[in-house]
Amino acid sequence: MKIDIKGYDIIREISRGPISTAYLGKQLSLNRPVLIKRLNNQWMNETDLMERFRREALICARLKHRNVVDIIDVETHPDNLYLVIEFIDGMDLARFIKEFSPMPFSVILYISREVLNGLAYAHRQGVIHRDIKPSNIMIGRDGIVKIADFGLARTADLPTISAHGEVVGTPAYMSPEQARISNLDERTDIFSLGITFYELAGQPSPFKGQSIVESIQKLLKDVPPPLHELNPEIPEWYSLLISKMLAKKTDDRPASAEAILENEHFLKTPSRSPELAQMIGQMNKESITFENTEISPPVIQSIDLPKSPGKRWLGIATTAVAVLLLGVWWINANQPDQKNGVLPIQDKMTAAAETLNTGADSLMNEPEIQSQPVEQNPEQPTSALAE
């Protein structure tokens, strides 16, 4: 099917997911490459997704910073919904970690500082990302690190799409307050960034279990071992910072990304990293990937969680309800009815229950497919539990 987007040439398809398709394009007016995310045809009249497009565009339009991916254009016509985004010639942090971990601490420190700069800026603009994770952080061949995908972001001045009692985020990277459906502030991004930095330092995600429910159980009760105890190459100050970022209570975490950046080690971090430049030099054109291209799936609704620590088991049960509904969405998105694109509700619930019973690890942490060159349909991530 030929895609016609006024003012842009479609060069090739990059990736295709159940919700959207990403294309490498060229902006004709400025003769520059762009990334185009277009809603798949079967979702074109979905009001919530149209609003999500509009919100992401409005939020990104106010964020102009070296460490934040720029949005160029948006179209919300019911028959042709798309976002035009800054093209990043590089790879996301998830792929970078796979390719280059373990990496020198100087590179870890540089990437950490760059992400913190972008996040601190977003927070100053009143934006909470709510989905910080390695696949939403891009590293360009120019060495610049950028935060991407503000599709789940929240601001005080824009009405939210989600209703009371809805879970938002990716289970392997969400904060305890996200899992409990509590009030969120910028410290929820600090927690998610702590998980991301834990992986950047060469360790697996500390809360990853065999299923979504197990992962959130670990999130709510497990305390990850300090990084310097696992890897003596990691300085103790950085290890203790990550442990503080991963505190279960928001008041025990750093107050803000800005406050973290005041650490003398970040203040002394060079503006460029020669070691990172060497790694980037090892990337050939075939290794460039575009993993951060999928639009967030529909909201997964849950029920209120009690805030009393003594009733934590109820929180786990509620999470299971959210996971069950996640299974409903995932099966609906991947196995549509031939007539109307949806499964009958009874079949949805049965299939979702089967998904929950057999484990849903592939939904918990964005299933990783073997990366391929751009020309060969590279991997396409899917958000796991999202607004």
Helical H runs in the chain?
47-61, 93-100, 105-124, 176-179, 187-200, 212-221, 227-230, 236-245, 257-261, 264-267, 274-281, 312-334, 345-357, 361-364
Report cis status (omega within 30 of 0) of the bond before 102. yes
Q: What is the C-alpha to C-alpha distance for residues 42 and 22, in angstroms, rounded to an integer? A: 15
Strand, helix or coil at 168?
coil
- The token duo for 69 is 């991916």
Give the Cβ contact number of residue 42 at 10 Å: 13
Chain-centroid distance of CA 374 in Å reads 21
Strand, helix or coil at 43?
helix
- The token duo for 349 is 């619930």
Q: Which residues contact 86 (CB under 8 A, 6 or more apart)?
A: 34, 35, 69, 70, 71, 72, 146
- Tell me which of 48, 79, 131, 149 is the catalytic residue: 131
Q: What is the C-alpha to C-alpha distance for residues 335 and 387, in angstroms, rounded to an integer? A: 21
Q: Is 131 a catalytic residue?
A: yes
**DSSP state at residue 169:** B
Active-site residue list: 131
